[in-house]
Amino acid sequence: MSDLIQRETLEPQDNPLGLEGIEYVEYRTARPQAMGQVLELMGFKPIARHRSREVLLYRQGSMNIIVNAHATAASPAPEAPQLAAMALRVRDAASAHAR
């Protein structure tokens, strides 16, 4: 079986955008309380709420997860959680944007 698995040696890669990590991941759901319970079981804590929309920020250490239950006529919140957005942390945002 081990003959079937071949490993390639990867050369070190450049980091032209200066990526340093993920700033946040955002999920959309019509069931924010259920999603929040799951996140809290994993050690995340709710730390902020949007002032006019049903959007919550959960944090554990440097990890941020946004739970967005805000629905519009054009875009109702889905029943099951769906990945909506992800933001990357970079050394220099202006330089990364220019690339």
Q: What does the pLDDT read at residue 48?
A: 97
Whole-angstrom distance, CA of residue 11 vs CA of residue 68: 39
In a domain, 67, yes or no: yes
Smallest Cα–Cα separation from 78: which of 70, 88, 90?
A: 70
Query: pLDDT per residue over 20-64, tens digit each?
Result: 999 999 999 999 999 999 999 999 999 999 999 999 999 999 999
Q: Where are the beta strands (DSSP E) in 12-54?
A: 19-28, 45-49
Q: What does the pLDDT read at residue 76?
A: 78
Full domain range(s) for residue 97: 41-99
Q: Radius of gyration of the chain from Cα atoms?
A: 18
In a domain, 31, yes or no: no
Q: What does the pLDDT read at residue 3?
A: 57
In a domain, 61, yes or no: yes
In a domain, 29, yes or no: no
In a domain, 72, yes or no: yes
Q: Which amino acid is residue 97, in one-letter code?
A: H
In a domain, 23, yes or no: no
**Number of structural domains found in the chain:** 1
More confident: 20 or 77 = 20
| pLDDT average, residue stretch 58-86 | 90
Whole-angstrom distance, CA of residue 41 vs CA of residue 6: 38
Residue with tokens 């079937």, as numbered in its chain: 4
Task: Please classify residue 20 by burial: count the beta carbons closer than 10 Å to its beta carbon, then call 0-12 exposed, 13-18 middle and 19+ buried.
Answer: exposed
CA 34 to chain centre: 17
Indicate the pLDDT class of residue 7, thresholds 50, 70 and 90. confident
